[in-house]
Amino acid sequence: MARGLLRFLLSGGALAALLTTALPAQAAPAFDNPPPDKIVIKVATVNGSGCPQGTTAVAVSEDNTAFTVTYSDYLAQVGGNSDPTAFRKNCQLSLVVHVPQGFTYAIASADYRGFASLQPGASALQRASYYFQGSPNTQFRNHSFSGPLVDNWQATDETDWAQLVYAPCGVQRNFNINTELRVNLGSSSSSKVSFMTMDSTDGDISTIYHLAWKECPRK
Protein backbone atom coordinates (compact mmCIF):
# COMPACT_ATOMS: atom_id res chain seq x y z
CA MET A 1 0.00 0.00 0.00
CA ALA A 2 1.23 3.47 -0.65
CA ARG A 3 1.67 5.33 2.63
CA GLY A 4 2.61 8.93 3.01
CA LEU A 5 6.27 9.53 2.43
CA LEU A 6 6.68 13.22 2.59
CA ARG A 7 9.40 15.50 3.69
CA PHE A 8 8.52 19.10 4.16
CA LEU A 9 10.52 21.51 2.09
CA LEU A 10 9.45 24.85 0.82
CA SER A 11 6.91 27.06 2.22
CA GLY A 12 5.46 30.21 3.36
CA GLY A 13 1.95 31.14 2.71
CA ALA A 14 -1.64 31.47 3.40
CA LEU A 15 -4.56 30.24 1.38
CA ALA A 16 -6.95 32.47 -0.46
CA ALA A 17 -10.00 30.42 -0.75
CA LEU A 18 -12.67 32.43 0.93
CA LEU A 19 -14.03 34.27 -1.99
CA THR A 20 -17.63 34.82 -1.26
CA THR A 21 -17.31 38.57 -1.18
CA ALA A 22 -15.48 40.22 -4.04
CA LEU A 23 -13.02 42.83 -2.89
CA PRO A 24 -12.47 46.12 -4.72
CA ALA A 25 -10.09 45.86 -7.64
CA GLN A 26 -6.55 46.78 -6.74
CA ALA A 27 -3.00 46.32 -7.87
CA ALA A 28 -2.02 42.68 -7.73
CA PRO A 29 0.20 41.92 -4.74
CA ALA A 30 3.38 40.31 -5.99
CA PHE A 31 4.73 37.00 -4.80
CA ASP A 32 8.22 38.48 -5.02
CA ASN A 33 7.45 41.43 -2.71
CA PRO A 34 6.89 39.74 0.65
CA PRO A 35 7.88 41.42 3.93
CA PRO A 36 11.63 41.23 4.59
CA ASP A 37 11.29 39.84 8.11
CA LYS A 38 10.73 36.13 8.62
CA ILE A 39 7.20 34.84 9.13
CA VAL A 40 6.52 32.06 11.61
CA ILE A 41 3.77 29.46 11.29
CA LYS A 42 2.84 27.19 14.19
CA VAL A 43 0.24 24.42 14.27
CA ALA A 44 -2.36 25.26 16.93
CA THR A 45 -4.46 22.12 16.44
CA VAL A 46 -4.56 19.18 14.05
CA ASN A 47 -7.53 16.85 13.86
CA GLY A 48 -8.79 14.19 11.48
CA SER A 49 -8.45 10.63 10.33
CA GLY A 50 -5.99 11.67 7.61
CA CYS A 51 -3.51 13.29 10.00
CA PRO A 52 -3.00 11.25 13.17
CA GLN A 53 -0.82 12.80 15.84
CA GLY A 54 2.77 13.20 14.68
CA THR A 55 2.12 12.65 10.96
CA THR A 56 1.84 16.28 9.80
CA ALA A 57 4.52 18.97 9.42
CA VAL A 58 4.50 22.63 8.36
CA ALA A 59 7.49 24.54 6.96
CA VAL A 60 7.91 28.10 5.67
CA SER A 61 10.01 28.98 2.64
CA GLU A 62 13.08 31.11 3.13
CA ASP A 63 11.69 33.90 0.94
CA ASN A 64 8.29 34.10 2.71
CA THR A 65 6.39 33.34 -0.50
CA ALA A 66 4.89 29.99 0.50
CA PHE A 67 4.49 27.37 3.17
CA THR A 68 4.31 23.62 2.85
CA VAL A 69 2.19 21.08 4.69
CA THR A 70 3.29 17.45 4.47
CA TYR A 71 1.52 14.31 5.62
CA SER A 72 2.90 10.86 6.27
CA ASP A 73 -0.31 8.87 6.82
CA TYR A 74 -3.01 10.43 4.65
CA LEU A 75 -4.57 7.49 2.76
CA ALA A 76 -8.16 6.79 1.71
CA GLN A 77 -9.08 3.42 0.24
CA VAL A 78 -11.99 1.19 -0.64
CA GLY A 79 -12.46 -2.44 -1.75
CA GLY A 80 -10.77 -5.67 -0.72
CA ASN A 81 -10.42 -5.93 3.05
CA SER A 82 -10.50 -2.16 3.56
CA ASP A 83 -12.12 -0.84 6.71
CA PRO A 84 -15.65 0.40 5.89
CA THR A 85 -14.73 3.90 7.11
CA ALA A 86 -11.42 4.08 5.19
CA PHE A 87 -13.05 5.39 1.98
CA ARG A 88 -12.95 8.93 3.42
CA LYS A 89 -10.09 10.64 5.24
CA ASN A 90 -9.93 14.25 6.33
CA CYS A 91 -7.64 16.68 8.12
CA GLN A 92 -8.30 20.04 9.75
CA LEU A 93 -5.32 22.23 10.53
CA SER A 94 -5.53 25.41 12.58
CA LEU A 95 -2.41 27.51 12.00
CA VAL A 96 -1.10 30.47 13.97
CA VAL A 97 0.59 32.73 11.43
CA HIS A 98 2.89 35.42 12.82
CA VAL A 99 3.62 38.03 10.16
CA PRO A 100 5.83 41.13 10.34
CA GLN A 101 4.10 44.23 11.69
CA GLY A 102 2.38 46.32 9.04
CA PHE A 103 1.70 43.44 6.63
CA THR A 104 -1.13 41.06 5.94
CA TYR A 105 -1.45 37.99 3.73
CA ALA A 106 -3.86 35.94 1.65
CA ILE A 107 -3.63 32.55 0.03
CA ALA A 108 -3.24 33.08 -3.70
CA SER A 109 -3.04 29.42 -4.71
CA ALA A 110 -2.54 25.95 -3.31
CA ASP A 111 -0.82 23.03 -5.02
CA TYR A 112 -1.87 19.56 -3.91
CA ARG A 113 -0.33 16.30 -5.00
CA GLY A 114 -0.30 12.65 -4.15
CA PHE A 115 -0.54 9.15 -5.59
CA ALA A 116 -3.66 7.30 -6.76
CA SER A 117 -4.38 3.72 -7.71
CA LEU A 118 -7.96 3.56 -8.98
CA GLN A 119 -9.50 0.47 -10.52
CA PRO A 120 -11.59 0.83 -13.70
CA GLY A 121 -14.97 2.17 -12.60
CA ALA A 122 -13.69 3.64 -9.33
CA SER A 123 -13.40 7.37 -8.65
CA ALA A 124 -11.86 9.73 -6.12
CA LEU A 125 -12.33 13.28 -4.86
CA GLN A 126 -9.85 15.72 -3.34
CA ARG A 127 -11.47 18.64 -1.52
CA ALA A 128 -10.10 21.64 0.36
CA SER A 129 -11.43 24.75 2.07
CA TYR A 130 -9.77 27.67 3.80
CA TYR A 131 -10.99 30.32 6.22
CA PHE A 132 -9.78 32.68 8.92
CA GLN A 133 -10.97 32.18 12.47
CA GLY A 134 -14.27 33.98 12.98
CA SER A 135 -15.05 34.24 9.26
CA PRO A 136 -18.54 33.03 8.28
CA ASN A 137 -17.50 32.38 4.70
CA THR A 138 -16.07 29.05 3.60
CA GLN A 139 -15.84 27.79 0.03
CA PHE A 140 -14.84 24.28 -0.98
CA ARG A 141 -12.67 23.48 -3.98
CA ASN A 142 -13.16 20.03 -5.49
CA HIS A 143 -11.01 17.97 -7.86
CA SER A 144 -12.30 14.66 -9.25
CA PHE A 145 -10.36 11.66 -10.58
CA SER A 146 -11.55 8.53 -12.39
CA GLY A 147 -10.11 5.05 -12.84
CA PRO A 148 -8.29 3.38 -14.33
CA LEU A 149 -5.47 5.45 -12.85
CA VAL A 150 -2.14 4.42 -11.34
CA ASP A 151 0.02 7.51 -11.13
CA ASN A 152 0.93 10.65 -9.22
CA TRP A 153 -1.85 13.22 -9.23
CA GLN A 154 -1.74 16.99 -8.87
CA ALA A 155 -4.42 19.65 -8.37
CA THR A 156 -4.25 23.43 -7.96
CA ASP A 157 -6.68 25.83 -6.30
CA GLU A 158 -6.35 29.39 -7.56
CA THR A 159 -8.04 32.65 -6.62
CA ASP A 160 -8.38 35.75 -8.80
CA TRP A 161 -6.47 38.74 -7.46
CA ALA A 162 -9.65 40.78 -7.05
CA GLN A 163 -11.14 38.05 -4.85
CA LEU A 164 -8.27 37.42 -2.48
CA VAL A 165 -9.34 37.40 1.17
CA TYR A 166 -6.70 38.87 3.45
CA ALA A 167 -6.17 38.29 7.14
CA PRO A 168 -7.49 41.23 9.16
CA CYS A 169 -4.78 43.76 9.98
CA GLY A 170 -3.75 44.14 13.59
CA VAL A 171 -5.71 41.10 14.78
CA GLN A 172 -4.40 37.58 15.36
CA ARG A 173 -6.75 35.13 13.65
CA ASN A 174 -5.87 31.49 13.18
CA PHE A 175 -5.88 30.28 9.60
CA ASN A 176 -7.81 27.03 9.08
CA ILE A 177 -7.25 24.48 6.33
CA ASN A 178 -9.67 21.60 5.82
CA THR A 179 -8.79 18.86 3.35
CA GLU A 180 -10.47 15.60 2.40
CA LEU A 181 -9.78 12.52 0.29
CA ARG A 182 -12.68 10.29 -0.73
CA VAL A 183 -12.54 7.11 -2.82
CA ASN A 184 -15.69 5.54 -4.30
CA LEU A 185 -16.01 1.94 -5.43
CA GLY A 186 -18.33 2.82 -8.32
CA SER A 187 -18.66 -0.02 -10.78
CA SER A 188 -15.25 -1.49 -9.92
CA SER A 189 -14.88 -4.93 -8.36
CA SER A 190 -15.34 -4.91 -4.60
CA SER A 191 -12.54 -7.47 -4.29
CA LYS A 192 -9.95 -5.04 -5.64
CA VAL A 193 -8.53 -2.12 -3.70
CA SER A 194 -8.56 1.47 -4.95
CA PHE A 195 -6.74 4.12 -2.94
CA MET A 196 -5.55 7.73 -2.96
CA THR A 197 -2.86 9.39 -0.87
CA MET A 198 -2.05 13.01 -0.10
CA ASP A 199 1.63 12.69 -0.95
CA SER A 200 3.81 11.22 -3.67
CA THR A 201 5.60 7.93 -4.12
CA ASP A 202 8.81 9.75 -4.99
CA GLY A 203 8.84 11.63 -1.69
CA ASP A 204 8.60 15.09 -3.24
CA ILE A 205 6.63 18.03 -1.84
CA SER A 206 2.96 17.38 -1.28
CA THR A 207 1.02 20.55 -0.59
CA ILE A 208 2.30 24.09 -1.18
CA TYR A 209 0.34 27.23 -0.27
CA HIS A 210 1.46 30.36 -2.13
CA LEU A 211 1.08 33.69 -0.35
CA ALA A 212 0.11 37.13 -1.55
CA TRP A 213 1.13 40.10 0.57
CA LYS A 214 0.08 43.70 1.05
CA GLU A 215 0.80 46.46 3.53
CA CYS A 216 -1.81 47.31 6.14
CA PRO A 217 -3.25 50.84 6.16
CA ARG A 218 -1.33 53.15 8.46
CA LYS A 219 -3.30 54.51 11.38
pLDDT band, residue 80 (cuts 50/70/90): very high
Please state, as a whole number, how many other Cβ atoms lie within 10 Å of the Cβ of residue 83: 8
CA–CA distance, 182 with 75 (Å, rounded to integer): 9
The whole model's pTM is what? Answer: 0.76
Asked if the model's pLDDT at residue 192 lies above 80, the reply is yes
Nearest to 64 by CA among 212, 219, 218: 212
What does the pLDDT look like over 118-170, one tens digit per residue? 999 999 999 998 888 877 666 678 999 999 999 999 999 887 766 788 888 88
User: Where is 112: in which H helix or E strand?
Assistant: strand 103-118
Q: Over the chain, what is the mean pLDDT? A: 79
Question: Nearest-CA neighbor of 105 among 210, 217, 219?
Answer: 210
Higher pLDDT, 162 or 189: 189
Q: Is 5 exposed, middle or buried (0-12, 13-18, 19+ CB in 10 A)?
A: middle
Mean pLDDT to the nearest integer, 115-119:
96
Handedness of CA 210, 43, 19, 170 (dihedral sign): negative
